[in-house]
A and B are shown apart, each in its own frame.
Chain A
Amino acid sequence: MNWLQELFTGAPGTPPSAVWGTWVAGLLTLAIYSFLYKDNPVYRFAESLFVGVGAAYWLAILYHNTLVPKLFVPLFFPPEGQPVLWYRVFPGVLAAFMLLRFFPKLSWLSRWSLGFVVGMYAAVNTTGFAQGDLVAQIHATVTTPLTSGGGLVIALNAAAIVGVIATLIYFFFSKEHRGPVGAAARLGIWFLMVAFGASFGYTVMGRVSLLIGRMTFLLRDWLHLMQ
């Protein structure tokens, strides 16, 4: 049985660790799918494994890729010919404060670090959204081409401008939705519903794709049933 042999040794030249790995991955995949029948201990085992592996991965990569190059190397092991970045002590202290959350007596100090991070993020988000999602979108709407591209495209472009305005009016809360405002809001909801429909279609597509990915793994990489 060629196929059976391949199942346990992999394609010619596959290292044993890869074959092992595929088996582990295949069995874990089935363990998760067992949830479709009903919640069961095998699923819960796989789920706990998932949490543990995920956390360990995150911690290790955070250490190797962020803390070492950004904090430990500049402070303690500067590359030859480069000075110690002594001022990295400050973020180091703030990072340590953050971890004081675990000690109720000192947890108030973690607010310093939190304040730093939250303040920075707040400002960065404010300018980012203002430039990228407000001003840039206003600019793009105002400069929508309305003179070229043929009758249908011009009509659709004009409709899109109307759609933007109608959507904004739908989310206007300082006036009852009656009269002309109500009519515009009504138009807005139609645009929203068509957009949500598109979202719906795309979300279905995405979820199905993930299943196709796992099935490709099961049928090809593990069971060697696909060409």
Chain B
Amino acid sequence: MRREIPLAITFLAGMFMLVDFFVPHHRVSAAGEELKQWGTIVIAASILLGIGNLIRVHSKKIARRQSGWGFSLVCLSVMAVMLWFGMWPGAKLGPNPLVGSIAQGSYFNWMYLNMDVPLQGTMFSLLAFFIASAAYRAFRLRSPEASLLLISAIVVMLGRVPLGQLLTKGLPEKATLPWLTEAIMTYPNMAAFRGILMGAALGVMAMGLRIILGIERSYLGGEK
């Protein structure tokens, strides 16, 4: 029973959503609408799961004094402070509360804009450096395919910025880098990605079918 009920729920939820797609009957739509609202609530809980997991991993690290437990402490403390700012229920003090609110001007919002935003932004901007280094040390014309790839890449890299426009200024329009770039994007790039899109769609559909029919059960976890 520990497997049959979830599989039955999966089947029913899935089949209903399929019917909802093809049948516009108002009773189906009305039920479908409420079901979709349920979906958002349950999915919200699955996000809570991830955050709970994070707390568990870091508290374990601190409890066992594993290497780097100090960093775990930093992580959990800042989290607690920010949660207090953002969710403290007793703090609806005035028209613009600084605590217990997520609105603009609150402490919570300040922490987000001045800590989360720069940290996230900077983390990914590191990649510009790494790409430059890899461009020099690893991107090679090692085969005809790789060569074709790099040539197309170089055209696009130059043609997509104002510099490319400047470099081929005065040439006939259809020989300029911006035109070539747009042509690459609109024709071969479009065609190849359309092929990939269709193939990927089939993969997703096959997976969906297996899940709804209960052939695919790996998401339920290992034990019987």
For chain A, give the interface size range.
35 or more
Assess whether B93 is interfacial by the CB under 8 Å rule: no
- A115-B6 in contact (CB<8A): yes
Query: Does A53 contact B40, Cβ atoms closer than 8 Å?
Result: no
Closest to B71 in A: A48
Cα separation A202 to B46 with both chains bound (whole Å) = 33
Range class of the B interface residue count: 35 or more
Q: Using Cβ atoms and an 8 Å threshold, which residues of chain B touch A160?
A: 187-188, 190-191
Which residue of chain B lies nearest to A211 when distances are taken between CB atoms in the complex? B128
How far, in whole Å, are A57 and B84 apart by their CA atoms in the complex?
11
* Complex Cα–Cα for A204 and B136 (A): 13
**Is there contact, CB below 8 Å, between B199 and A168?**
yes
CA distance A157 to B194 in the complex (A): 13
Contact yes or no, A193 B10, CB < 8 A: no
- Asked whether, in the complex, the Cβ of B119 is within 8 Å of the Cβ of A94, the reply is no
Contact code string B180-224 (vs A, CB < 8 Å = 1, else 0): 000111111111111111111110110111011000000111000
CB distance from A47 to the nearest CB of B (A): 8
Asked if residues A56 and B78 are in contact (CB atoms below 8 Å), the reply is: yes
A118-133 toward B: CB 8 Å interface, digit per residue (1/0)? Answer: 1110111111011001
> Looking across the interface, which residue of chain B has its beta carbon closest to that of A71?
B41
> Is there an interface contact between A64 and B195, defined as CB atoms closer than 8 Å?
no
Smallest CB gap from A129: residue in B: B201
Residues of B within 8 A of A24 (CB): 114-115, 118
Residues 7-65 of B contacting A (Cβ, < 8 Å) = 7-18, 21, 34-35, 37-49, 51-52, 54-56
Within the complex, which residue of B15, B43, B111, B148 is in contact with A123, where a contact is CB–CB below 8 Å?
A: B15
Are A50 and B123 also in contact (CB < 8 A) when A25-B117, A156-B183 are? yes
Question: Does A62 sit within 8 A of B, measured CB to CB?
Answer: yes
* Chain A residue at minimal CB-CB distance from B193: A195
Cβ contacts under 8 Å, B156 to chain A: 197-198, 200-202
B14 contacts A123, CB within 8 Å?
yes
Who on chain B is nearest to A66 by CB? Answer: B44
Contact A114 B200 (CB under 8 A): no
- List the B side residues contacting A45 at CB < 8 Å: 71, 74
Say whether B47 contacts A58, CB under 8 Å: yes
Query: A113 CA to B42 CA in the complex, in Å?
Result: 7
Q: Are A213 and B152 in contact (CB under 8 A)?
A: no
A207 touches B127 (CB 8 A): yes
* A194→B180 CA distance, assembly (Å): 12
Which of A88, A167, A168 has its CB near the most chain B CB atoms (within 10 A)?
A167
B70 to chain A, nearest CB (A): 9
Task: Select the stretch in A4-12, A26-34, A174-182 that faces chain B.
Answer: A26-34
Nearest 6 pairs of A and B residues by beta carbon: A197-B152, A167-B195, A163-B191, A201-B156, A60-B86, A126-B208
Q: A48-B78, A57-B112, A205-B161 are in contact. List 9 more A-B contacts (CB 8 A).
A: A53-B115, A95-B42, A118-B10, A120-B39, A123-B212, A129-B201, A191-B188, A203-B131, A207-B128
